[in-house]
Each structure stands twice: as structure tokens, then as C-alpha cells.
Structure 1
């Protein structure tokens, strides 16, 4: 009898585990297809918007959903445009649907774009870093929907950097498409959780509130790692690059190359004047970067290719390179203020403050953010 009880317990244990396998928001069609009945749908999607090996556009069209257009963010519908490159309007060859750029003449859907739309469905894989632009696109979609009386449905996906929170919180006097929200560099939220925070904290223009519906995932929590099945953008091709992105991304506001124009973007760093470097590379134009920083110059630095990067936000490498290259008049570009979210960060590094001293200045606002974040969690938090 005891053996039967043991076997039954094992069966139940494994059965429960199976029941908790990851189910993306997009896969939970029973939760959002009823909301699309009789409605004209715009899909805000890209190459990551796939469930069961089929793109969401194709899935919904095949099910008779009245999809009237696709709206494409940075990198375009197929995710092939280089970082920062203007995306043009086009047409989907398979479905014939118009693909409207919201990373071209405008980053915010216009009233004209929404005239024939009732509901906007957002389904894009994010990487959990404030300066990654898909969350800014989501913000503008919500804002435009609120101003034009449309509903927004966010289909949630895992955050591959969702197991920690770190970095400076954006100051009020620093604002751009890569610095839209008063959140830290690593915000620790899924797009669905962040959408609720944006909506309820009054961060949309004029304090507007979007008619928002989030479709949560099943079988995921913030302690889990997540390997992205499709690269979210041309220069984040590996899990390792995504893990390193929060820390190495700050180098984009400096003269140091992060490997754009190589086979290993965000897995290598270097500069011609970094003499301690033992790894060498020469950036050249490629599909992911037409005009890479340090193009044609031999860079000396470090490679993290093949390593298992630790999920963390570290200033170690930035401080090391700044110390070695030294010239404060040329090391940083103005973009560093937007990436760090504060005008103080550049000054702190240039003043020779240590990692610990700089971090101490973040803590009051970071602690306040952490308390705010807990109000919007849809999943069990990391410990």
C-alpha cells in the first residue's frame, strides 16, 4: 500500500510539473479571441511573435480574425533592419496585409492609422532593459489607443533578464525613446507587468488611461531563466548577448565598440587604445550594422563568447575601460546620459568614483522602485 501511495505521489508530482509547462500569452487564445469577435484588429508584432512555430499574423488570419493591418516597430516586421534604421511601410507577401511602420516618420500610431481599427494586439519579445525600444513602442501604442478610444491587448512573454532588478532609475530631466519611464536599467518586469505599471501610474501623456487587457502566461515566474527561440533583434543573437546586454549596453554611450559589425555583437568589447586587451577584432559593415563604430579599426579588448554570463548589471568593465583610455573629453558621448537615465552618471565616472560609491547614489530611488514593482507583478517573484 505504501508503495502504491508513493507511486501515486510521484505521478501527481510529474503531472503537476507537466501542467505548469510554459504557455505564452499568445497561446491562450481562449482568453483573447472572444475580445476580437466583430472587431477590426491591428497587430503590433515582429519576427518574435510566434506560437507553435507559426507567426501570430498567420494564426489569427487562418482563424478568421479580422486583422486589418500590422504595425512594425524598430527592426521591422521581420526583424532585419539594423538598429536605429528607419522602417518603411510595406505589405506582407503572404497575407497581403499592409505593414505600417511605427519606427519611421512617427513612432506613435496616428489617428489616421487607427481610423479603421478597434483593437490593437501587442505581442513582441522584450529583453527587460530600459533602453531596449520595444517597451517604448508599447507605451506609444497604449497612449495612441487611449487618445483614440481603442482597446489594447498585451500578450505576455517571459523576460530573460527578469530575475533581478538593478541600475539607476531614470531622472525626470532625461527623456528620449530609450529613456521614457522612471524605471531602472534592469526593470525586472514582463511587458504585461510594465504595461499595467505605465497605465496605472499615469505615465501616458496627460495622465491618460488605456483600455488595457493583459493576457498573462502560465507556467512562468521571475526566478526562471528563458532561452529565446528567436533572436529579438539583429545584434542580440544569443542568450549570452542578452544576458550581457544591460552592462555592455552602456558602452554604446562611449567610444568603446560592443562588437557591432562582427559575428559577436554584445559578446565582445574593445578599443584601439585599450592596451591590456588580449582579444582583437575589426568591425566591418554587415546586415546588423551598416556603419559600425570603430569600422575598419583593430580593436583590442575582451571576448565573452562561449562563457556563461552571470545575470547582473555591472560597472566593472566600463570603469576599467574609462580608467585605461582616460581622456574624459572623448570617452563618453552624450548618449550615455540617455542610456544611464541620469546626467549624474557620466560625472560620477569622470570624478573617479568607485562602483560601490556610484551604486550608493542609486539606492533610494531604486528601493522605491522595487516597492512599486511589487504592486504590478503577475507572477511569483525571484527571492
Structure 2
């Protein structure tokens, strides 16, 4: 090869190499930071949620390392006229106010030395003292560990911020400061007042001047100007048939004049994106520095310890409210939600955030985006294509720290509530039995009536000084829970010698007048499971009737709802009341027995002298396994929380085929001798029910329907406790079985517990779930309004 040829060859080689390197570089550059297929999945998920009625519309903003996606979905308004959602829609942020206006305002004053986090609140608000309030610090307000109640009353005629502060200063902490987590709006409107007193200007003015204006958040602020009203997403329709629009939805903030630390702020997704970008940049954006980097790190880092849930200052990290974090974002990400359907979640590790803004309470407050929380967070992390979330350096594994619902139950790694949840009996003991002293008592209870240490309520009342227990009344399964029969006789308790009157004896279901002679008051203490056809609540309702009819007091020792009291599912009772359909509530009613008792007494106009001894340190969204309370099988075939969670749905078919009675896993499996388990499981899984999967199985029950016969069927696996719908599972089981085996599956027996003929006919005619849900909508809407009056817990 001559020199010229060699030169040409080398030139060609290097040109080829450069082309290859350039092509490789271009290919790498084309690797998307935001995965398009996951963005499409997120959009489809939001559109489906809107179609299912979770909200009328929404705006989504996802941003990672400067690459962003944003879009509007659905409708901004439905009444009085339909309006299309736009990206520049202004939303009532509700509790996002806490972290977008109030928290940064406090932190600016902390940075400037004008507020100290560990200083008592009374340093800034001197009248905030007495009953232990003088020990509450600013930090405890910001971490919701002050011990104050969730909110102040809004029914009376008070108005103005000064009146709200006066009411807060009269509050008595429910727990000692720093010992328990209780999410509280009082905490944050007090913080807003501290900002006002320290800065000399209202919170609205301070936040606008120091935060929103420098960040060029042009559409963010309190009390929106009239010219912005057309772009504001309306919320709930009020009495004059017009929705709130530009007026804060939160009743406390509204009575305070629209400016408060806990609610009242309005904003857009684009403005919130600028705010989130500033936090990711540790306090600076486009040349405007809002905070020092160390202030941002302090505000967004872990501030609680011990048994308290992980919280930052204002921000959530991994508490029971952190579902929007999803299953992938690592510990150290932070965020918040708002009652109106708003979410902001930020992950500093991957430099990612997402914003989801909706007006889910338009035109009514019955819709909810809570079922969407975890999926939205998970999808956002999955959208990020160039960051490995597994094993982020320096970040501890947090599975034992979070209380978010992310796994099937029983879920051994789900965190318990950081507060010590006390049922009514625990509270009664704590208060030395004061409400019932000096009265002759009849106790309605069973084996579930015990305190946290499993001391039976029977023994506690029998041995308490000043308490006179004279009779016992036993429900289905008896006072010791040992009977699984259709009739239980009267008797005498061998341990105490007290008479035991059966409330499950033939047609006798409530105390007789003769049995109430010599009794001043009835006490009810039984663990319900939150399902309409579970008979303990019916026993309670009949006891309230008996108390009213015979001029007796009745005390309900309230107990937490083990399957949470936030979710409401299924049709409202539409047929004449029975013992398994006592009152007009849905199949899964989302109430405690104490709340049900208030509803029964008021709506049936019984007029009983009713006292509810309330649960302490519990919130509606908590499940039993997050409370620290000991589990006792409420009935012989209700052996764990998973079975209780499935029961409102699976129980519907228990008169039609085997639901596993006579096996180790009742209500976790269903079957019959005629079922092809492989085909049945395939059809059920094809329905795509969220949070549940079905595995083909064969089993032989030793009791109840199909006793001794080998059955084909399915084992029911809960994969996402937040997403599943128990009643939908039961309906799909019934509909699929009737479609596959119309001559063998006795579908009409479903009506015994369903007690809703339109739904039964829809099952038989093969209607879709959406069509069946539509049958319930108006009655569920009406129930939710009724229910609101009687709710005790947040």
C-alpha cells in the first residue's frame, strides 16, 4: 500500500469512527427522560378516572430535570354550564395552602431570626395558654404534633380571623404536645396568625410580596380578582344552586374571610411548577433567591422521631396521608394534598415533581380522587426514564416507616399508626368510668368487647368501683363468641354469675321491657366490621330502640371501623328493613358504630338519651392493622383483616355457593362443584378489577354450602388495598357465575344480603359495572349528605 492509499484509508477510518460516535451520541440524546409510553398510560388513567366520576376534570404537570409534560383533561365546570378544562385554570388549592403559602412564609421568618421553631406558640400569641397549650411549640404546629383537634366548629355564627384565633386559644389539647400525630387545620391557621403578628402584615400580603411576586407566580394568591373568575374551577354547588367560584371552599377559611394558613390559596399548575422548581434548586429560580439552601433542606427534611410518622415542616414524607408518593419515589421525597382534589409531590433525588389539580368536589363533594393517589405517584416515577430509584445512595429503606397502603393484606410491613389508638372502652377506663358511675347497667357485648390489653369489658365494668353491672345481653355468636348457630338461649355467665339475655333467640332481637327492669342504662361494646349485613350493628340499633321505648340511657363504646371509615361502596338499602339490612345505608357504609348510632337515633326519631364514648387518636383512613389494637375474630369465620376487607362483596354470594366456610380461609375463596376453576379465573381476571387478582383453586369445605364436595373456584388475592373495591368484587363474581352457569348458580339468593332489586336485575342482564354504579349514584349522593351530619372523626 503506497503512502497516498494509506492516508486515504486512515482518513476514511477516522471519518467512519466519527460518524459512529456521532450516531451513538445522537442515539443517546434521543433516549427520552420522560417515557412516552408511560405518559400515555398516565393520560389514559386520568381520562378513565374522569369517566368513572372521580372528578370532572384535571390539569397534570410532570417535570424531571427540566423536561416537562403538561395537559388539561375533562371539564372545568359542569354547572351551571359545561366548560372545557384549560391548562391555565385556577384552582382552589385547599390544604396545599399549608405548604405553598403558610410554611414558606414561616420559614422565611425563621431564616431571618424572627421566629424560632422550638419557641412556645404563646411567645407570639400570648393568649394561647392554659390546659397545657403553653408547652406547644411552633415546630409542633408545623409537624401536626401539637395535640390539638383537627378543626374548630363552623356551625355557629362566628366570623373573622380574630374569632377563629379566639376559639383556637380556648382549645384543650387531646394529647400532650409532641406525643401523637393528628392532622389539624388549627395548627396552620395559628401559624398564619404568627406570620401576621411577627411580620406586621396579613399572611396573604406577606406571601404575595415575599414568595409569589419574586417567583412570577402571577395567578397565585388569596381572594382572586373578579377578572380571574372565568378561569377559576368552581367547587361545590351551594344552596342557591350556584357553585363556589373564587370563594374558598373550606368553611373555616371562608368564615375567616378567605385568608388562612390552612386553606384559601388559589393557583395554577404552571405557577406551582415554578414553586416546585425553586425548591429543587434549593431556594432559587431564574435569578430570584427566595431561601438559603439550608432553609429548604430544613423545611423538607425529617423533623419527627420515635413512633411519630415521618413529617417535615409542613410537608408530608411518609405518613398515612402520603399515598400520592406512590410505590417508587424514595424516602426523602415530600409533598401534600388538598381536600378539593389537589396534589403536589416532589422528589429531590431524581429532580422530579408532579402536580395534579382537580375540583373533585364539583358539583358535589361525594367524588374522591383518594383512590387515584398511589397510582398517580407510581406512574410519575415510572415516567422518569433516566433515573434508577432503587437504592438511592444515602437514602434509608423506608418500608417500616411509611403508613401508606402499598401491599396486599395481611401486610406485615405496613406501618402502624404512630398514635396510640384508644377504643371507647380504653377511653372509659382512662376516664375512670366517670360517665357510667352510679348507674345500674346492662351490658351488650361479646368476646370482642375488651380493651387494648384484652381485659374483657364485662370484667372491667364488674370490678370498677362505683359501677353496678347487673345484666348481660349477648348478640349473634353469644357473649363469648363461641356459637355459630341460628338460636342462642338465655343463661347465666359462669364467671360473674350475671344473667345473660340472648339477643339472638328466634325472633327476639332486642331487650324486652321485663329484662330492662332494674336497669338505668344500656352499654354497647362490640367490634363491628363496617358492612351493612354484619348483624352487630343491627343489634345495636334495636338496643337503641329498646332504650328509647323504656326510658333508659344508652352508652355506645365506639370502636374503629377495621376496614377504614373513608370508603363507601355499594347500593343503599332499597327494600324493607331486615336483621341483615337494618337501615338505609350502603353495603360498605364508612361509619363507626358510634356514628351509626347517632344516625339511627336521629333519622328514626327515636329520641333515646344516647352517649357515644369516642375513639381517640384514630382517623377515618386508617385500617385496623395501622392502629396497634389487638385483633380478635369478630365471629368464627372472620379470622383476619383481609377477610373483613373482602366480606362486603364476597359475602353477597354466600347463600349461592361456598365462600370457604369450613376451610382455613373463609371469604378468601369461592367455589362450587360445577365450576371450571381455570375458565372462571380467566374470566374474572379479564375484568381488570383494580387491586385484585384471582387464582384458580380446588377445595373441599367441611361446613355450609357444598359441605364435603370438591369445589372448583378461585382464591382472591388483594394486590392493592387502596385501589380495590369489595362490592365490585362481589358483583363481578355473581355476574360471571350467572353468565357461565345460569342453570346451576342460584343468582336470586344474592338478593338476601344485597337487598337492592335493580342491582340484582342488572347482574342478571349482564350490565357493566359502570351501568350498575349509575343505578346507585343518586342514592349514594343522598346518603353521603345524610352521613356528613353524623361523622365524629376526620
TM over 0.5: yes
Q: CA deviation at 1:5?
A: 5.2
- What residue number does 1:288 align with? none
Q: Distance in 1 between matches of 2:780 and 2:532?
A: 14
Alignment partner for residue 79 of structure 1, among 474, 477, 481?
481
Alignment partner for residue 766 of structure 2, among 345, 352, 357?
352
Contact persistence 2:651–2:667 (CA under 8 A): yes
Helix, strand or coil at the partner of 1:54: coil
- What residue number does 1:35 align with? 435
TM-score between both structures, scaled by the size of structure 1: 0.89
- Do the aligned partners of residues 78 and 264 (structure 1) sit closer, same or farther apart at CA in structure 2, a change above 3 Å counting? same
Q: CA deviation at 1:163?
A: 2.6
Equivalence map 1:183-198=2 (5 Å) = 183-198=585-600
Alignment partner for residue 153 of structure 1, among 555, 577, 583?
555
- Do the aligned partners of residues 342 and 32 (structure 1) sit closer, same or farther apart at CA in structure 2, a change above 3 Å counting? farther
Unaligned runs of 5+ in 2: 1-109, 120-136, 146-177, 182-307, 309-417, 681-695
Helix, strand or coil at the partner of 1:50: coil
1:166 aligned to 2:569?
A: yes
- Do the aligned partners of residues 142 and 365 (structure 1) sit closer, same or farther apart at CA in structure 2, a change above 3 Å counting? same
- What residue number does 2:653 align with? 251
Q: Distance in 1 between matches of 2:553 and 2:762?
A: 43
Q: CA deviation at 1:112?
A: 0.7
Q: CA deviation at 1:344?
A: 2.1
- What residue number does 1:289 align with? none
- What residue number does 2:710 align with? 298
Q: CA deviation at 1:374?
A: 1.0
Q: CA deviation at 1:317?
A: 2.4
Equivalence map 1:85-164=2 (5 Å) = 85-105=486-506, 106-161=508-563, 162-164=565-567
Q: CA deviation at 1:262?
A: 1.0
- What residue number does 2:780 align with? 366
Q: Distance in 2 between matches of 1:12 and 1:194?
A: 29
Q: Distance in 2 between matches of 1:369 and 1:253?
A: 27
Alignment partner for residue 318 of structure 1, among 719, 734, 740?
734
Between 154-163 and 127-136, report the one with greater CA deviation.
Answer: 154-163
Q: Distance in 1 between matches of 2:710 and 2:118?
A: 63
Q: Distance in 2 between matches of 1:210 and 1:77?
A: 24
Helix, strand or coil at the partner of 1:122: strand
Q: Distance in 1 between matches of 2:585 and 2:497?
A: 39
- What residue number does 1:16 align with? 180
Q: Distance in 1 between matches of 2:490 and 2:526?
A: 19
Contact persistence 2:735–2:764 (CA under 8 A): no
- Do the aligned partners of residues 296 and 224 (structure 1) sit closer, same or farther apart at CA in structure 2, a change above 3 Å counting? same
Moved over 4 A (4+): 4-14, 305-311
**Equivalenced residues, count:** 365
Contact persistence 1:32–1:215 (CA under 8 A): no
Q: CA deviation at 1:371?
A: 1.3
Q: Distance in 1 between matches of 2:437 and 2:606?
A: 26
Contact persistence 1:47–1:77 (CA under 8 A): yes
Q: CA deviation at 1:186?
A: 0.5
Helix, strand or coil at the partner of 2:566: coil
1:282 aligned to 2:708?
A: no
Q: CA deviation at 1:21?
A: 2.1
Helix, strand or coil at the partner of 1:15: coil
Q: CA deviation at 1:307?
A: 6.2
Q: CA deviation at 1:263?
A: 1.2
Equivalence map 1:53-68=2 (5 Å) = 53-64=454-465, 65-68=467-470
Q: Distance in 2 between matches of 1:322 and 1:249?
A: 16
Q: CA deviation at 1:305?
A: 6.4
Unaligned runs of 5+ in 1: 286-291
Contact persistence 1:253–1:332 (CA under 8 A): no
Q: CA deviation at 1:175?
A: 2.4
Helix, strand or coil at the partner of 2:524: strand
Q: CA deviation at 1:156?
A: 0.6
Q: CA deviation at 1:129?
A: 0.5
Alignment partner for residue 424 of structure 2, among 14, 19, 25?
25
Helix, strand or coil at the partner of 1:108: coil
Q: Distance in 2 between matches of 1:331 and 1:199?
A: 37
CA offset digits 1:191-250 (Å, max 9, x no partner): 000000011112xxxx42211000111101111111361011111101110011011011
- What residue number does 1:180 align with? 582
- Do the aligned partners of residues 66 and 266 (structure 1) sit closer, same or farther apart at CA in structure 2, a change above 3 Å counting? same
Q: CA deviation at 1:265?
A: 0.7
CA offset digits 1:170-191 (Å, max 9, x no partner): 11x3321001101100100000
Q: Distance in 2 between matches of 1:184 and 1:306?
A: 22
CA offset digits 1:282-311 (Å, max 9, x no partner): 1113xxxxxx10111111111136866555
Q: Distance in 1 between matches of 2:793 and 2:591?
A: 10
Helix, strand or coil at the partner of 1:53: coil
Alignment partner for residue 327 of structure 1, among 725, 729, 743?
743
Helix, strand or coil at the partner of 2:738: helix
Contact persistence 1:279–1:302 (CA under 8 A): yes
Helix, strand or coil at the partner of 2:645: helix
Helix, strand or coil at the partner of 1:365: helix
- What residue number does 2:448 align with? 48
Larger Rg: 2
Instruction: Please give the root-mean-square deviation of Cα atoms over the aligned residues, in Å.
Output: 2.4
Between 67-76 and 52-61, report the one with greater CA deviation.
Answer: 52-61
Between 262-271 and 345-354, report the one with greater CA deviation.
Answer: 345-354
Contact persistence 2:734–2:747 (CA under 8 A): no
Helix, strand or coil at the partner of 2:179: helix
Q: Distance in 1 between matches of 2:718 and 2:769?
A: 26
Contact persistence 1:43–1:120 (CA under 8 A): yes
